[in-house]
Structure 1
Amino acid sequence: MGVWWWKLLFAILAGIISSSELCASQNDPKYRFTQNATSAAEISYYDYIIIGGGTAGCPLAATLSEKYSVLVLERGGSPYGNPNITNLTSFGAALSDTSPTSPAQRFISQDGVINSRARVLGGGTCLNAGFYTRTSPQYVREAGWDGRLVNESYLWVEKVVAFEPDVQQWQSGVRDGLLEIGVLPNNGFTYDHIYGTKVGGTIFDHHGDRHSAADLLQYANPTSITVLLHATVHRIMFRTKGVSRPRAHGVVFRDASGRKHKAYLKHGSKNEIIVSAGALGSPQLLMLSGIGPADHLRAHNIRITLDQPWVGQGMSDNPMNAIFVPSPVPVEVSLIQVVGITNFGSYIEAAGGENFAGGSTTDYGMLSPKIGQLSTVPPKQRTQEALSKAIESMESVDKTAFRGGFILEKVIGPISTGHLELKTRDPNENPLVTFNYFQDPQDLERCVKGLSIVEKVIESKAFSQFKYPNMPISVLRNLTASAPVNLLPKHTNSSLSLEQFCKDTVMTIWHYHGGCHVGKVVDRDYKVIGVDALRVIDGSTFNYSPGTNPQATVMMLGRYMGVKILNERLVASAAESLDDRTSIQENKY
């Protein structure tokens, strides 16, 4: 390492470099400890093997590398140097890319809703709309987390990736409209999850540049961490002979050329493999490794390591519904900045911009069919043909028709759950996942109430400059369900109910979770129940999506569990040392 690195590290430890300077110092497109998996050894050994360099995996790896050797296996590439990831104005470009090398892998749930999963170092933080907000104290208590360490872990994350957004006219109009209609109090700018209206944080800095979980790797000890890109894990290996129950001891992965590699844990009772492959990837990998429902695994000719019927169960995706509001005046490009946190279980947010739905400013709006957000036909009818037709129709319309933005609502939780199953034994293929949107009537009720709030905001005096006076709510609702999102005529009846609107126009907000729930698949320390030396640490363990948007809490969890694991090993080492000294003293006599 050069002298500059040690000076930087000392300054970080001393706390004399600001977060902005820290971020600016890491402009190199990749870290020195990051390499393509094709250059990896055929066999290697580490104290910790982390499967997935995503939202949780990066902070977890950085933390564990402080004391131990760590291997991170990431199936995607680097986010650095890719403007479709790093620039706010290019939001959605990566999500619209359906090529095999895209940082976003598109999947369609069995419900028919088009979705996407990350395939890039930094995970979903490289693809999302950037909103940064903590979860509630109640969520922390229910999760059994240590409140002080949670707070310290959030701060550790925020020094690198979180910023106060520049709130302009459109977002201000939504904020003031929420306050006018009674979503109170006004909580100003805060990362905290509080009832009322607030401005949250963002992972986009004041230059519009994204800061992802991959940036947290700058905390890592560069001599103790190896990050392999384009490394797809096919299975976890278990030792079953001479042990009381299966013990994870290595992984099999392939590089981009298809060459097989094996990575093993070094000898040591405390060393572990940690799965952080996301809500789809983690349960999928457990099944591929023989941990899952026995009958389902046998159907795929997978050798059973542990019959675990809960793997893949409890899958959830927070339903999102939105209303498009054409604006008579220009609207700044903005992603999520303002949120109204209601007391009945719905979150109100907004995104907008000049031609943001698909025009000249950016061709990839947050609710554009180019990224799969096809709200104009019911989920089961959202075929590739429908997408193509929608995009063609959209591009033939005068771009001024798209000037404006969306006000959306997201249902808390949700209560409705589904399940995940393997489609094939190929880890590169998406599993089959069902979310069962609005299966629970309370979710539908919350959607209706949330959309009622959205409509009141649109009709508020504070928001009036962004609404054509001759467009009542009934017209806007049908406009959203028919055009201009993709201009496919569908509903002409002005009496379209909010219940039907919720079902027909439901989309994802990319907050899916579950499949490896605490208490069913993993314990409170995220150790996989029934086997040794294996944990799952990511959003697949969540029963409910934390806060209004989960990325802050997933990053926090990576840091939190990293610190907990280090502390556990420190205490264990101290106890062993004490036992050794006691034994020596006893032997003297």
Structure 2
Amino acid sequence: MYDYIIIGAGSAGCVLANRLTEDPDCRVLLLEAGPRDWHPFIHMPAGLAKLVGKKGVNWNYDTAPEPHLNNRTMWWPRGKVLGGSSSINAMCYIRGVPADYNDWAKHGATGWDWNNALPYFKRSEHNERGGDALHGSHGPLYVSDLRYTNPLSRAFIDAGRQAGYALNRDFNGPRQQGFGFYQVTQKDGARCSSAVAYLHPVRERHNLTIVTGAQANHITFDRQRANGVTFRVGGKAFHQVATREVLLSGGAINSPQLLMLSGIGPAAHLRRHGIDVVFDAPQVGENLQDHLDICTLQHSTQRVTYDRVSDAKIAFDYYLRGHSGPGSSNIAEAGAFVRSQYAPDERADIQFHFVPAMLDDHGRHRLVGDGYTAHACFLRPRSRGRILLASANAGDKARIEANYLSDPEGFDLKMMVECAKVAREVFAQKAFDAYRGEPIYPARNDLSDGELVEFIRAKAETVYHPVGTCRMGSDDQSVVDPQLRVRGVEGLRVIDASVMPTLIGGNTNAPTIMIAERAADLITGRAA
């Protein structure tokens, strides 16, 4: 018998498993659909480039055709392994800004304002620079400066300064705006995923059971109370009971899918798939948000990029020299937060990730030669998508309708054009003179706004930040309440990025870990 069953050992689930089993009398079962995080490419930071198409650790989702992106089907990689997406991401440690969380509270996520969120960010964080008013120094999640950076990344930062933007040594400090190097979730030059930080140190606890390769099929109910989970391992079916609560941490795609498969969702949609309705919850799967990304690529006249570096040499040097050299790079080494002319408040509304290599189609399309890439995304999109069931079979992937660039006023598209323009401005600065070759994407540096629109429709992709599909709020239509309890039933919570009411201004891994840290206190009664 288990007190809690956690579905999903990703960024949130690993945190919950750790914090709940601090009580030796609390028994926890942690289910993960993917394998253990044994693969060496997971732990060598630069190995992320090799994880792009690795099916064994990736759900490999595809969206439905996107009407505003030339009906393209978009690839959405998500982690299917212990640590979830924190085991395959670029490790950039970003929290967003206080106003992001204050907005959550204003829209009904009571208790999730910045003053309540900050202590949990600090509790999770072990920053190698030490602790202060904004940073923790004793948490399990190691946050470090990069051990190795490419000279092109420094050129990007210098170009930002030349273009009139500030420099910023700490994007999680008193101000977010400016150009600088990212701090990363690494410990001693190796990836510090949620599994490394929270799960590995406690996996021998007698009150924690971890099952990998476990595909959750349904959450079961006794009347309106969740009482367990059915799942399959190696072709065999199991049903396990939870005496206290079921905690769903599958992420922005899997969590709403499993709720719907279990009878919680839009009633008409569930009935079309022959699913008995436990509770009619129309907003399950709705409110999907993601950062859309446009890449500007330029050839490099110098062979200093990562395009033709030997993978074997990188790995050899990395392990021989104590986790140093290019193997310790997160590839997206430098970045920026920029406030555009269209920003409605004082917050940055554009984020950059700079890569000293040519990245086309998530790196799946290898280009000839050497080059560098500026990823740019609009931080607060107004477009909303949804997650739907493709069938009543848990083994079938959900239907993802991201609905990018669909906002009626066309503001998201205007901002994507602005993203491309700022990238062009930065690449034109003197700092790149020694490296600048011919443009790749777009093919010319003088495209009109109309031509940039067509470029965006043809080339924009996800930057891997889906959230919002089990929205948290105080209104009756929200999927979960501010304690993350699923409305309409008892004994069930959702704890992952799907509960975010809106996207924060940055990467979503650190906020997801913060949510799980606070959720553990809500569950145990340590927080109101």
Secondary structure at the aligned position of 2:434 is classed as: helix
Matches within 5 A, 1:502-517: 502-517=456-471
> Using the alignment, how far apart are the partners of 2:230 and 2:82 within structure 1?
19
1:478 and 1:496 in contact (8 A); partners too: no
Q: Tell me how far apart the structure 2 counterparts of residues 239 and 109 of structure 1 sit (CA, whole Å).
A: 35
Select the residue among 243, 262, 277 that pairs with 1:289.
262
- Provide the secondary structure at the position in 2 that maps to 1:249: strand
Letter of the 1:93 counterpart: K
Match of 1:247 in 2: 225
Alignment map for 1:165-180 (pairs within 5 Å)? 165-166=146-147, 167-180=149-162
Q: TM-score under structure 2 normalisation?
A: 0.82
- Tell me the alpha carbon deviations over residues 236-271 of structure 1, each in whole angstroms, 9 at most, x when there is no partner: 01111xxxxx1111111110x2111111122xxxx2
What per-residue deviation string (whole Å, max 9, x for no partner) do you get for residues 146-200 of structure 1?
A: 645533322333323321124441111111111221223x221343461222332
Which of the residues 64, 78, 92 maps onto 2:49?
A: 92
Task: Find the counterpart in structure 2 of residue 225 from structure 1.
Answer: 208
CA RMSD of aligned residues (A): 2.4
Q: Does 1:139 align with 2:106?
A: no
Structure 2 Cα separation of the partners of residues 127 and 564 of structure 1: 29
Work out whether residues 389 and 398 of structure 2, in 8 Å CA contact, stay in contact via their aligned partners in 1.
yes
Report the CA distance between 1:54 and its aligned residue. 0.3
Q: Displacement of 1:328 after TM fit?
A: 1.1
Alpha-carbon spacing, 1:493–1:551, altered in 2? closer, same or farther (3 Å): closer
Within the candidate set 441, 445, 460, 2:429 is matched to 460
The 1:202–1:332 alpha-carbon spacing in structure 2 relative to 1, beyond 3 Å, is farther
Q: Does 1:71 align with 2:29?
A: yes
Q: Could you say which residue in structure 1 is the equivalent of 2:194?
A: 213
Q: Report the residue type matching 1:537 in the other structure.
A: I
Q: Distance in 2 between matches of 1:115 and 1:162?
A: 26
Which of structures 1 and 2 has the bigger CA Rg? 1
Q: Which residue of 1 is the match for residue 501 of structure 2?
A: 543
Aligned residue in 2 for 1:346? 350
Call closer, same or farther: CA 1:282–1:197 in 2, change over 3 Å.
Answer: same
The answer on 1:336 being equivalent to 2:340 is no
1:436: how far off? 1.2
Is 1:263 equivalent to 2:264 in the alignment?
no
1:442 has 2:403 as partner: no
Q: How much does 1:64 deviate? A: 1.1
> Partners of 1:369 and 1:165 in 2: how far apart?
22
Distance 1:157 1:218, change over 3 A: farther
Query: Who is 2:322 aligned against?
Result: none
Query: The residue matched to 2:85 in structure 1 has which SS?
Result: helix
Aligned counterparts of 1:338 and 1:370: Cα–Cα separation in 2: 18
Partner of 1:529: 487
Instruction: Name the amino acid aligned to 2:47.
Output: S
User: Which position in structure 2 is the counterpart of 1:42?
Assistant: none
Q: Secondary structure of 2:493's partner?
A: strand
Residues 1:126 and 2:84 are matched in the alignment: no
Corresponding position of 2:323: none
Q: What is the CA-CA distance between 1:286 and the residue it aligns to?
A: 0.1
After the TM superposition, which residues 332-481 of structure 1 pair with which residues of structure 2 at under 5 Å, given as runs?
332-333=305-306, 334=329, 335-343=331-339, 344=343, 345-352=349-356, 356-357=357-358, 366-368=359-361, 371=364, 394=367, 399=368, 401=369, 403-440=370-407, 441-468=410-437, 471=438, 475-479=439-443
Cα gap change, 1:494 to 1:546, in 2 (>3 Å): closer
% of aligned pairs identical? 27
Q: What secondary structure, in the 3-state scheme, does the structure 1 residue paired with 2:96 have?
A: coil
Question: How far off is 1:206 after superposition?
Answer: 5.5
The 5-angstrom pairing of residues 163-202 of structure 1 reads 163-166=144-147, 167-184=149-166, 186-192=167-173, 194-202=176-184
Gaps of at least 5 residues in structure 1 are 1-44, 241-245, 358-365, 372-389, 482-491, 572-589
Distance in 2 separating the partners of 1:230 and 1:476: 42
Deviation string, structure 1 residues 493-538 (Cα, Å, up to 9, x no partner): 9997212211111111111122111121011111111111111011
* 2:42 partner letter: I
> What secondary structure is seen at the aligned counterpart in 1 of 2:78?
strand
Separation of aligned partners in 1, 2:447 and 2:146: 40
Which SS does the other structure have where 1:303 is aligned?
coil
Give the distance between the partners of 1:517 and 1:146, measured in 2 at CA: 16
Match of 1:91, SS? helix
**Do the aligned residues in 1 keep the contact of 2:250 with 2:496 (CA within 8 Å)?**
yes
1:132 to partner: Cα distance: 0.9
Structure 2 spans left out of the alignment, 5+ residues: 67-72, 106-111, 127-140, 307-328, 344-348
Q: Which residue of 2 aligns with 1:19?
A: none
Deviation at 1:332, TM superposition (A): 4.8
Work out which of the residue numbers 507, 511, 514 in structure 2 matches 1:556: 514
Q: Which residues of 2 match residues 104-115 of structure 1 at below 5 A?
A: 104-110=58-64, 111=66, 112-115=73-76
Cα distance in 2 for partners of 1:342, 1:370 equals 25
3-state secondary structure, aligned to 2:239: strand
Offset at residue 452 of structure 1 (A): 0.9
Q: Residue type matched to 2:281 in 1?
A: Q
> By how many angstroms is 1:220 displaced?
3.8
Partner residue in 1 for 2:218: 235
Q: Is the CA contact 1:346–1:412 (under 8 Å) kept in the aligned structure 2?
A: yes
User: CA 1:495/1:139 → structure 2, altered by over 3 Å: closer, same or farther?
Assistant: closer
Displacement of 1:425 in angstroms is 2.0
**Rounded Cα–Cα distance in structure 2 between residues aligned with 1:476 and 1:95:** 22
Query: Would the aligned equivalents of 1:92 and 1:127 in 2 still touch at CA under 8 Å?
Result: no
Give the Cα separation in 2 of the matches to 1:250 and 1:149.
31
Q: How does 1:562-581 map to 2 (within 5 A)?
A: 562-568=520-526
Deviation at 1:83, TM superposition (A): 1.9
What TM-score, normalized by structure 1, do the two folds share?
Answer: 0.73
| Cα offset, 1:450, TM superposition | 1.3
- C-alpha displacement of 1:226: 1.2
More helix by share: 1
Q: Could you tell me which of 303, 317, 333 is aligned with 2:290?
A: 317
